[in-house]
Amino acid sequence: MIKHILATLPLLALGITTATAGTAPTGWYLGLGVGGAAVDLDDAESDLRSDGWLIREKEDSGGALRMYLGYQVNSIIAVETGFVRFGEFELEVRDPGSTRDGFREEWEGSAVYLDAVAGIDLTQSWRVFARLGLARSRMESQLYEVIDREPFRRSRETANSTDLKFGLGLEYTFTRWGLRLDVESYRNVGDDGSTGEADVGLATLSAQYRF
C-alpha cells in the first residue's frame, strides 16, 4: 500500500503543477516533512538514580513526521494547522541487587497544532519566520516489568494535553515549490501523574507547495 502511494506522488505533483500553471498563488500552501524529535528525560533519570536504580538504556530521540496546511494572509502573517508524530522514546532501569531484573517504559507521542506564523523575506527566494501557537498533544506510555532480562507488559497509560508551542524556521522557495526547515518546542507534553510530562523538541525538513 505504501509503495503504491509513493509511486503515485510524482504523478500527483505533476498534476497539481499542471493544473495551477499560469495562475497566481491563492495564498494556500501544503507541506510534508520528516526529521527528528527529542524529549528531555534528564529529570526522570536523575530521580531514578537517586532512588537507587541503575540506568541500563535511554533513548531520548527518534524519527518524526510532519504534515501541514497553511494560508498566507499577507506578506508577513500566515495561519497554519498541522499534525506531527514525535516518534518513540524509551528508558530502562535495573535493580542494583539483581541486574537481570527491572523496568522499562516506552513512550510514543503526536500532536495537532494551530499556529500564527510571522516572516520576513531576506531575498526573493529566502525567508525567515517565527511561530507561536497551541498544540493538542497525545502521549502513550507502556510499562514493562523485566524479570531475568525478559520484559512482561504491565500498565498502559494515555494522556492528552494542550499547551503552547513555538519555533523558528528558514524557507527557500523556487516557483511554487519550496523547502522549509523548522525547529520547534512543544511544551508540557503528557501528564505528570500518568504518562509523565516533558518538553519535546522537533526539527523537520519539509517539501512545500503553494497553490
CATH classification of the domain holding 160:
2.40.160.20
Confirm whether 57 is domain-assigned.
yes
Q: What is the pLDDT of residue 180?
A: 98
Three cell numbers, residue 11: 504523478
User: Which pairs count as long-range contacts for 44-49, CB under 8 Å and 24+ apart, including other chains?
Assistant: 44/91, 44/196, 44/198, 45/91, 48/91, 48/93
Instruction: Please state, for a pLDDT cut of 90, what percent of the chain lies above it.
Output: 68
What residues make up the domain containing 200?
26-210
Confirm whether 12 is domain-assigned.
no
Confirm whether 155 is domain-assigned.
yes
Q: What number of CA atoms fall less than 13 Å from residue 137's CA on the CB side? A: 29
Confirm whether 63 is domain-assigned.
yes
What is the rounded average pLDDT of the residues 49-69?
Answer: 92
Confirm whether 19 is domain-assigned.
no
- pLDDT, greater one: 11 or 50: 50
Q: What is the value of pTM for the model shown? A: 0.83
Residue that has been written with the C-alpha cell 520528516 in this structure: 34
Residue that has been written with the C-alpha cell 524479570 in this structure: 147
Q: What is the pLDDT of residue 37?
A: 97
Q: What is the pLDDT of residue 22?
A: 54
Q: What is the pLDDT of residue 45?
A: 83
Looking at the 3D structure of the chain, how many domains does it have? 1
Confirm whether 97 is domain-assigned.
yes
Confirm whether 113 is domain-assigned.
yes
What is the rounded average pLDDT of the residues 94-110?
Answer: 91
Confirm whether 133 is domain-assigned.
yes
